[in-house]
Amino acid sequence: MKVYISVDIEGTAGITHWNETDRNSPDYKAFQEQMTNEAVAACEGALKAGATEIYMKDAHGSGRNLITSKLPEEVRIIRGWSGHPFCMVQELDDTFDAVLLVGYHSRAGSDANPLAHTLRTAYEYININGVYASEFLLHLYAAAHVDVPVVFVSGDEGLCWDVSALNERITTVAVSSGIGNSSISIHPNLAVKRIRDGVELALKGNIELCRLIPPEHFHVEIRYKEHYNAYKAAYYPGATRIDTHTIGFDTRDVFEILRMLLFIV
Instruction: In whole angstroms, give the CA distance from residue 103 to residue 39.
Output: 8
User: How many residues does this entry show for the chain?
Assistant: 265
Mean pLDDT across the chain: 97
pLDDT for the residue 257: 98
Say which CATH superfamily domain 2-126+133-210 falls into.
Dipeptide transport protein (3.40.50.10780)
Residue 113 banded pLDDT, cuts 50, 70, 90: very high
Q: In 3D, which of 245, 207, 224, 234 has the Cα closest to residue 118?
A: 224
Tens of pLDDT, residue by residue over 70-85, are 999 999 999 999 999 9
Tens of pLDDT, residue by residue over 201-222, are 999 999 999 999 999 999 999 9
SS3 readout for 44-92: HHHHHCCCCEEEEEECCCCCCCCCHHHCCCCEEEECCCCCCCCHHHCCC
* Binding-site annotation, residues: 8, 10, 60, 105, 135
Please give the positions annotated as active site. 117
Question: pTM for this structure?
Answer: 0.97
pLDDT for the residue 121: 94
Tens of pLDDT, residue by residue over 225-238, are 999 999 999 999 99
Tens of pLDDT, residue by residue over 48-67, are 999 999 999 999 999 999 99
Residue 265 banded pLDDT, cuts 50, 70, 90: confident
Q: Any idea where the domains of the chain sit in the sequence?
A: 2-126+133-210, 218-263
Identify the H or E element spanning 204.
Answer: helix 188-204
Instruction: Return the sign of the alpha-carbon dihedral for residues 19, 14, 8, 163.
Output: negative
Tens of pLDDT, residue by residue over 142-200, are 999 999 999 999 999 999 999 999 999 999 999 999 999 999 999 999 999 999 999 99
37 Cβ partners below 8 Å, 6+ apart?
Answer: 70, 188, 192
Q: Is residue 100 predicted with pLDDT exceeding 90?
A: yes
* Binding-site annotation, residues for Zn(2+): 8, 10, 60, 105, 135
pLDDT for the residue 231: 98
Q: Is residue 117 predicted with pLDDT exceeding 90?
A: yes
Instruction: In whole angstroms, give the CA distance from residue 75 to residue 221.
Output: 37
